[in-house]
Structure 1
Amino acid sequence: MEAVRRLMDLRHRGRAEDLPVVLAEAAPLLGADAAVVLLVDYGQEALHPLRGTPLGTVTVRTVEDTPAGRAFTTAEQQWEDGFLWLPLLHGAERLGVLEFRFTAYPAEATRHDLEIIAALVAELIASRRFYGDAVEHTRRRMPMQLAAEIIWNQLPPLTFAVDGTMVTAVLEPCYEVGGDAFDYAANGDTLHVALFDTVGHGISASALTTLTLNTYRNARRSGLSLADTCRSIDKWIRAQYPGAFVTALMGELDMASGSYRRISAGHPAELFLRDGQTLPQLPTPNTLPLGLGHMLPRPPEVVEQQLEPGDALVLYTDGITEARDASGELFGVEQLSDFMLDSLGRGTPAPETMRRLIHTIVSYEQGELRDDATAAMLQWRRH
Structure 2
Amino acid sequence: MVAMEAVRRLLALRHGRAEDLPAVLADAAPLLGAESAAVLLVDYAQVSLCPLHGSKPGLVEPRQVEGTAAGRCFTTAGDTYEDGFLWLPLLHGAERLGVLELRIKDDADRSDLEVIAALVAELIASRRFYGDAVEHTRRRLPMQLAAEIIWNQLPPLTCAVDGTVVTAVLEPCYDVGGDAFDYAINGDVLHVGLFDTVGHGISASALTTLTLNTYRNARRSGLSLVDTCRSIDKWINSQYPGSFVTALLAELDTTTGRYRRISAGHPAELILRAGRQLPALPVPTTLPLGLGHMINRPPGVAEQQLEPADTLVFYTDGITEARDAAGRQFGPERLSDFMLTALRAGYPAPEIMRRLIHTIVSYEDGELRDDATAAMIQWRRYE
TM-score for the superposition, normalised by structure 1: 0.98
The residue number in structure 1 matching 2:170 is 171
AA at the equivalent of 1:151: I
Deviation at 1:234, TM superposition (A): 0.5
Aligned 1:196-345 pairs, distance under 5 A = 196-345=195-344
Partner of 1:65: 67
Partner secondary structure for residue 200 of structure 1: coil
Task: Measure, in 1, the Cα distance between the counterparts of 2:207 and 2:104.
Answer: 51
Amino acid at match of 2:94: A
Task: Please give the alpha-carbon distance, in whole angstroms, between the structure 2 residues aligned to 1:74 and 1:217.
Answer: 32
2:103 aligned to 98, 101, 120, which one?
A: 101
2-structure distance, mates of 1:357, 1:264 = 23
**Pairing of 1:183-198 with structure 2 (within 5 A):** 183-198=182-197
Partner in structure 1 of residue 8 of structure 2: 5
The question of whether the paired residues in 1 share the 8 Å contact of 2:237 and 2:243 is answered with yes
Q: Distance in 1 between matches of 2:59 and 2:20?
A: 16
Q: Which residue number in structure 1 is paired with residue 23 of structure 2? A: 21
Compute the displacement of 1:296 (Å): 1.2
Query: Which AA in structure 1 matches 2:33?
Result: G
Q: Does 1:161 align with 2:160?
A: yes
* Percent of pairs with identical residues: 79
- Aligned AA for 1:6? R
Question: 2:201 & 2:104 partners in 1: Cα distance?
Answer: 48
Q: Which residue of 2 aligns with 1:35?
A: 37
CA distance in 1, matches of 2:379, 2:60: 39
Residue identity matched to 1:82: G
Partner of residue 52, structure 1: 54
Q: Distance in 1 between matches of 2:293 and 2:187?
A: 33
Residue identity in the other structure for 1:125: I
Report the residue type matching 1:9 in the other structure: A
DSSP-derived class of the 2:261 partner = strand
Q: Which amino acid aligns with 2:35?
A: D
Aligned to 1:372: 371
Q: Which secondary structure state, in structure 2, belongs to the residue aligned with residue 36 of structure 1?
A: strand
Deviations 1:43-68 (A, max 9, x none): 00010000000001111100001000
**What SS does structure 2 have at the residue aligned with 1:53?**
coil
Residue 230 of structure 1 aligns to a residue in which SS?
helix
Distance between the aligned counterparts of 2:298 and 2:342, measured in 1?
A: 38
Q: Quick one: which amino acid aligns to residue 74 of structure 1? A: T
Deviations 1:201-254 (A, max 9, x none): 000000000000000000000000010000000000000001000000000000
**1:138-181 alpha-carbon deviations (Å, 9 max, x no partner):** 00001000000000001000000000000000000000000000
Deviation at 1:353, TM superposition (A): 0.4
3-state SS, counterpart of residue 33 of structure 1: strand
Post-superposition CA distance 1:336-358 (Å, at most 9, x none): 00000000001011100000000
Output the CA distance in 2 between the equivalents of 1:333 and 1:9. 50
Answer yes or no: is the 8 Å Cα contact 2:33–2:105 preserved in 1.
no
SS of the residue corresponding to residue 237 of structure 1 reads helix
Distance 1:128 1:184 in 2: 23
Partner Cα separation in structure 1 for residue 290 and residue 105 of structure 2: 63
Over 2 Å off, 4+ runs: none
Per-residue Cα deviation, 1:83-116 (whole angstroms, up to 9, x for no partner)? 0000000000000000000243x55xx1111000
- Tell me how far apart the structure 1 counterparts of residues 295 and 70 of structure 2 sit (CA, whole Å): 53
SS state at 1:286 partner:
coil
Whole-Å separation in 2 of the counterparts to 1:211 and 1:57 = 44
Secondary structure at 1:149 match in 2: helix
Q: What is the distance in 2 between the residues matched to 1:172 and 1:256?
A: 33
User: Tell me, which stretches of 5 or more residues in structure 2 are unaligned?
Assistant: none
The gaps in structure 1 that reach 5 residues or longer are: none
Looking at structure 2, the residues matched to 167 and 38 of structure 1 have their Cα atoms a distance apart, in angstroms, of 24
Count of residue correspondences: 379
Distance 1:313 1:296 in 2: 29
- Which secondary structure state, in structure 2, belongs to the residue aligned with residue 143 of structure 1? coil
Q: Aligned partners of 2:68, 2:153: CA distance in 1, in Å?
A: 32
Q: Counterparts of 1:241 and 1:132 in 2: how far apart (Å)?
A: 34
Letter in 2 for 1:214: N
Q: Which amino acid aligns with 2:21?
A: L
RMSD over aligned CA atoms reads 0.6
The residue that corresponds to 2:361 in the other structure is 362
